[in-house]
A and B are shown apart, each in its own frame.
Chain A
Amino acid sequence: MKLGYFLVLMTILCVVSAGVVRGSVIVSSVFAQSAAISTQDQYTEIRQTYRGQLDEYRTADRQYQITIEQYKQLKTLAALEDAVQQTHLTMKLRNQVLITYLTLLHFQLQNGTGINLDQKALMLQALNADISRLKTFQEKLEPEANRQAIAQIASEFAILAKPLENDAYKVQTLLAVGKLQTVFDKTVTLRGEIDDFTGQKQDINTTQRQRANQEIKDNLLETKVVIDEVVTETARPNTDFSRGSFAGLQDDLAQIYAGLSQSLSFLEELLSI
């Protein structure tokens, strides 16, 4: 009898203490979060929202394709009504996706390294303007739409979409080049350090080290030429930054990446000579 009460009491104590510990952990973590909400947390939060919105858009887009196909085949008023409603909904969701995407891009650019400050400021301004335009456009999408309104919205969005896409790809290029530029700058500094370090050694491999060092220098110079080309291309105001031209730039970026990778491998080899 006593043993039974003891066991029941112990179990209750376990449950209560677990609850208290868990509660205190939750409370402390909430306080910690609220005390130190960093920009990175905000970014992660927006990123999650973006993923959700993109999923929602994809579902709506599939339904849009179905309703349009049905309208094409049936050509009834009911099918038209379905198509109008679904197009309107998909347009709204697309706008939300783009606003959140540009917000994320803005965040990345703001925190990006190795980017020319003037270009950064210019593109941050451009992204803000794009977000603002999309938000204004969102208001137009709020009231119920009919077929004529949908056509009007579609033609207005076509004008808006082109510069928006252009800015997005331009920022993507700036971010990609910026990251590679940062690695390049650090590699140049490190090469200097390794040069000083290996220069102190005087043995039969001294000449070999000097040749290796010269090779690395040349390799880095070649990489620098490609980086400068891409930076100049990005800075040019009339450069087209569509999906296609961005894919073209990828070759140059890949070349920079390969050059840096080789320079680092050479430096590693130089250390062992």
Chain B
Amino acid sequence: MPEDNSQTNFSAEEPLFESTTLHINSDTPQAVKVPLHQNKKVLIGVGFGLLFFVILILVLLQPRSAIRQVVEPSFIPIPDAAVGPQQAKINELMTELKAADPATQELPFPAVDLTLDIPDDKQLR
């Protein structure tokens, strides 16, 4: 088969090699755009977001003492019946004695300057 090297023929056939861009007619029906407030996924997301926000607010509004109770380690006292009444009284007294430790003053005298004054000019000279 003879090789076709004619530029004339090539120029004549040029339209065949042009890019075939798809031109959509403006009348062609497109995908229907759903308004944001009617989109179920968005609404569910917003709903969960609001619920999370409400829970967060409720947690933050909880009294601090209640939160602290959770953090503090729980002390499980041994029942008196298990140690006997005398031992229980000894334990109680030991706790009371610790509270009476003179090394730990509950209300020490305030560290205030009892000699507040403005120095005399004679003292400054």
Residues of A within 8 A of B (CB): 1, 3-4, 7-8, 10-11, 14-15, 18, 22, 54, 57, 61, 64, 68, 71-72, 75, 80, 83-84, 87, 90-91, 94, 97-98, 101, 104-105, 108, 147, 150-151, 154, 157-158, 161, 165, 168-169, 172, 176, 179-180, 182-183, 186-187, 190, 193-194, 197, 243, 250, 253-254, 256-257, 260-261, 264, 267-268, 271
A79 to chain B, nearest CB (A): 11
Chain A contacts of B44 at CB under 8 A?
3, 7
Interface residues as binary, B32-45 with A (CB distance below 8 Å gives 1, 0 otherwise): 00000110100110
Alpha-carbon separation in the docked complex, A91 to B54 (Å): 50
Residues of B within 8 A of A (CB): 37-38, 40, 43-44, 46-47, 50-51, 54, 57-58, 61, 84, 86-87, 89-90, 93-94, 96-97, 99-103, 105-110, 112-119, 124
* CB atoms of A94 and B116 under 8 A apart: yes
Pick the contact of B102: A8, A84, A158, A257 (CB < 8 A): A257
Q: Which residue of A lies closest to B105 (CB)?
A: A172
Chain B contacts of A268 at CB under 8 A?
87, 90
With A11-B51, A168-B109, A253-B102 already in contact, the answer to whether A261 and B118 are too (CB < 8 A) is no
Q: Which residue of A lies closest to B121 (CB)?
A: A75
A82 to chain B, nearest CB (A): 11
* CB atoms of A22 and B61 under 8 A apart: yes
Alpha-carbon separation in the docked complex, A35 to B90 (Å): 37
Alpha-carbon separation in the docked complex, A174 to B26 (Å): 99
* CB atoms of A254 and B84 under 8 A apart: no
Alpha-carbon separation in the docked complex, A89 to B76 (Å): 50
Q: Which residue of B lies closest to A13 (CB)?
A: B54
Q: Which residue of A lies closest to B100 (CB)?
A: A179
Pick the contact of B100: A182, A197, A250 (CB < 8 A): A182
B65 to chain A, nearest CB (A): 11
* CB atoms of A190 and B107 under 8 A apart: no
With A11-B51, A101-B107 already in contact, the answer to whether A186 and B96 are too (CB < 8 A) is yes
Alpha-carbon separation in the docked complex, A253 to B40 (Å): 76
* CB atoms of A97 and B112 under 8 A apart: yes
* CB atoms of A150 and B38 under 8 A apart: no
Chain B contacts of A193 at CB under 8 A?
86, 89
A193 to chain B, nearest CB (A): 6
Pick the contact of B97: A104, A172, A260 (CB < 8 A): A260
9 A–B contacts, CB within 8 A, in A order: A75-B124, A94-B114, A105-B107, A151-B117, A154-B116, A172-B107, A182-B100, A186-B93, A194-B86
